[in-house]
Structure 1
Amino acid sequence: MIGVIADDFTGGTDVAVAFRRAGLRVLIQFGVPEVVSGNDGADVVVIALKTRTLPADQAVAQSLHAGRKLLDAGAKQLFFKFCSTFDSTPAGNIGPVNDALADMTGSSVTVVVPSSPSHGRTQYNGHLFVHHQLLSDSPMRHHPLTPMTDSRVPELLRSQTARAVSLVTLQQVHAGTEALTAAIAGLQNSGIPYAVVDAVESGDLATIGRVVIDHPFVSGAAGLAGGLATAIAERNTSTRKPAPLNDGSGHDGPAVALAGSCSARTLQQIEAMQAAGHPSFQLDAVAVPDSSLLSEAALAWYDEQPPGTAPLIYSSLPPEKLRESQRRLGVTASAEILETAMGLIARELVRRGVQRVVVAGGETSGSVVTALHVSGGLIGSEAAPGVPWIHTSHNGPLALLLKSGNFGDVDFLVQAVSPRTTVAV
């Protein structure tokens, strides 16, 4: 069994479906676990935390707790899943969590792979690209909590750990499994504990997966999970196949979209939803800096909407307005007001009979799942690559779709609130 620790909820669903596509049985749990069950035939258990922007010591403590629970449940390998855009600050949390989990598992060399080509994230010569742009030139440079102004992954990791970091180039990956194994073993013998590995396509990730299949600890984005799953499927020709992904359950009930991400793609998706005629309501923390009052206003507005309109409630702002809001309220206070409000809104909407909740933004997803007291669920069909429906129950059937801010096409929200939204995988 592989035990995965994800640093946010959307990252947890992303990595879960990467393993699920390969025919592995995947369970997902949300939040710091009391109990982890891996003895019911699960090949992968994902624990999705909300640690990406916590103080480093708290992120480490929660990650270590999750790691111990996974090892106790029978995990033979731990996988720390971080965002494919390496979302972090110089203080962490990728480096500190990697250090702690490497020590826990006795990993003498940890392979780190942020590439996820299916999402347009690739690494070449240590530089991370978002589609055709360097990370530092992409909209991620404006992220409100983790602005990414450097594209050099080895340097980003070095700023977060006192341990040595080395780059394994694409040329070394293309030399094949044996050569890559030797290159990583050479780093291990030299006492270098981190190997940041280039990858630009799925074949590169499969090669890396074959090399790290027996490592006690690996770290990376969902692309690495896909490569590792490919290697597992190759090794185990009798891999059990799960139930069909496109089960469709929970895809016809009343729907609502909640957007908190300020990413460029989410802003485009909001505009597309408005253009398609879906009613929308914006939460304005500057005008109403109170979570309860914001939620009450949004719910009163929702109650006035005609049935079946699949409305949108959002707090997303373009960069210049976001900076003004943060200047007037403070970065932390602004985020807390809006995230708390979104959680309150989600809880009351489900009480009103909403059965499909589409959420844009990792922090917002965490707030919604926490407010709904959803502990986990079954990974279902994908509405976009890496964005699966999660089927659970909350006073009745409930389908959740948790989307990272930058994921999905421009019409993602429009399609997601339509009945039976799936994507071929």
Structure 2
Amino acid sequence: MGKIVLGCIADDFTGASDLANNLVRAGMRVVQTIGVPDGPLGAEVDAVVVALKSRTIAPAEAVAQSLAALQWLQGQGAQQIYFKYCSTFDSTFSGEIRGNIGPVTEALMEALNTDFTIATPAFPDNQRTVFKGYLFAGDVLLNESGMQNHPLTPMTDANLVRVLQAQTRRKVGLIDYRVMARGEAAIRARIDQLRAEGVGVAVVDALSNDDLLRLGPALKGMPLVTAGSGVAIGLPPNFGISPSSRASELPAARGLQAVVSGSCSLATNRQVLDFIKAGRPALAIEPLRIAAGVDVAAEALAWAAPLIQQGPVLVYSTADSNAVKSVQGRLGVEEAGAMVERTIAAIARGLVERGVRQLVVAGGETSGACVQALNITQLQIGPQIDPGVPWCHALSDAAAGQGLHLTLKSGNFGSDDFFSKAFTMLK
């Protein structure tokens, strides 16, 4: 394959698809890999997104995995590196550990021998904006959006400068909305000023896609960019690439349809309710029954077997924050999450073995578990369903040699009717 121009490292699987989606919409040919590949891809692409499952692991392990991904991307000739994290800027939070976004950023900067980078999770298409360094989800501060109750990565502070400064030894600064409004030259001047002041990482305000498109040219030649997926819309022109519908073409869809969901986000709760209200078959799995030794996966597959012949089915563990905390109190936070992920992943594999070839997976950690259970190593990125969520195409040993259409949906993304809309789009 030819040398790639943009090498990306994502800290979870749905986030990787989110980033790849924005790059494809901007005209790049993109492949998403599951973990660090063993060798060259053997395909002509402009960008590769290496998907890691490092968002909620110990910082030292996240750093090691990210550096391994960097080494592989450098070996493919990547001209710029993009470290992608969630648009809610959350990562490992336990005891004295305050997150791994900062440690990974520091390690990548040192490996790339660069003294400056930017940081912004802004993604206006999904109502994630940054103003005066504060992250908003819709019209409210992040810590008032429901993210303060996240079972694994609660976000109780919306001030990104403060949050990031607690995670890094480098000085953190701000490129505010007034600078952004004045365009590339002003942004570059502010970067020069911050570097002179000893700032190593600058949080960037962004209120709209226009801000991100003004930011893009100012990042040309920067060895490392750290961001959510929004910044991606302004980078392809730096490499002489323009939008093209051919970048998102996938093989024709066929086979049965299903949804599995392990997300507890407010958005996914609404999507589950919408699916049920539409009269479609849905089965809730109970974590305490899994813990009691019941083969919940086998039960779910037996329930789904006759129903998937008639249309899409949903298997979910989605619940509100109080229900999640109750289960965590009995089983422990990590064990409760891992147990549910393993069960949903086993159900996903069983559904594919039974003929499902169009599969929607909701939840970042759930997506990681499902992709690994399906032994998927690469995803070809296709058309967008909703902002940040594309259909993909992959090969899995569970699919009997056939291709599998797959979408990995971040818990917070998608319209209320996302599950139904996704399948309609493939017809």
Residue 82 of structure 2: SS of its match in structure 1? strand
For residue 328 of structure 2, the aligned residue among 322, 326, 351 is 326
Task: State the match for 2:318 in structure 1.
Answer: 316
Task: State the match for 1:81 in structure 2.
Answer: 84
Residue 399 of structure 1: SS of its match in structure 2? strand
Is the 1:109–1:187 contact (alpha carbons within 8 Å) kept by the matching residues of 2?
no
Task: State the match for 2:14 in structure 1.
Answer: 10
Task: State the match for 1:402 in structure 2.
Answer: 408
Q: CA deviation at 1:306?
A: 5.8
* Amino acid of the structure 2 residue aligned with 1:77: Q
Q: CA deviation at 1:17?
A: 1.2
Is the 1:291–1:338 contact (alpha carbons within 8 Å) kept by the matching residues of 2?
no
Whole-angstrom distance in 1 between the partners of 2:354 and 2:336: 27
- The yes-or-no answer on 1:30 pairing with 2:34 is yes
* Amino acid of the structure 2 residue aligned with 1:60: V
Q: Percent identity?
A: 39
Is the 2:13–2:408 contact (alpha carbons within 8 Å) kept by the matching residues of 1?
yes
Q: Which has the larger displacement, 151-160 or 387-396?
A: 387-396
- The yes-or-no answer on 1:122 pairing with 2:129 is yes
Task: State the match for 1:104 in structure 2.
Answer: 111
Is the 1:339–1:367 contact (alpha carbons within 8 Å) kept by the matching residues of 2?
yes
Matches within 5 A, 1:147-186: 147-186=154-193
Is the 1:290–1:337 contact (alpha carbons within 8 Å) kept by the matching residues of 2?
no
Q: CA deviation at 1:106?
A: 1.4
Residue 122 of structure 2: SS of its match in structure 1? coil
| Structure 1 unpaired stretches of 5+ | none
- The yes-or-no answer on 1:195 pairing with 2:202 is yes
**Offset from partner CA, 1:201-230 (integer Å, 9 cap, x none):** 11111111111121000100111111223x
Task: State the match for 2:214 in structure 1.
Answer: 207
Q: CA deviation at 1:33?
A: 2.7
Task: State the match for 2:73 in structure 1.
Answer: 70
Q: Which has the larger displacement, 298-307 or 267-276?
A: 298-307
Residue 146 of structure 1: SS of its match in structure 2? coil
For residue 269 of structure 2, the aligned residue among 264, 267, 275 is 267
**Offset from partner CA, 1:71-129 (integer Å, 9 cap, x none):** 11100111000001101235321011101111111121111111110110000000100
Task: Tell me the TM-score normalised to structure 2 length.
Answer: 0.93
Whole-angstrom distance in 2 between the partners of 1:188 and 1:223: 24
Task: State the match for 1:414 in structure 2.
Answer: 420
| Structure 2 unpaired stretches of 5+ | none
Residue 349 of structure 1: SS of its match in structure 2? helix
* Amino acid of the structure 2 residue aligned with 1:82: Y
For residue 45 of structure 1, the aligned residue among 43, 48, 64 is 48
How many pairs align? 415
Task: Tell me the TM-score normalised to structure 1 length.
Answer: 0.94
* Amino acid of the structure 1 residue aligned with 2:72: K
Residue 35 of structure 1: SS of its match in structure 2? coil
Is the 1:111–1:194 contact (alpha carbons within 8 Å) kept by the matching residues of 2?
yes
Q: CA deviation at 1:189?
A: 2.1
Q: CA deviation at 1:241?
A: 4.2
* Amino acid of the structure 1 residue aligned with 2:21: V
Whole-angstrom distance in 2 between the partners of 1:291 and 1:370: 23
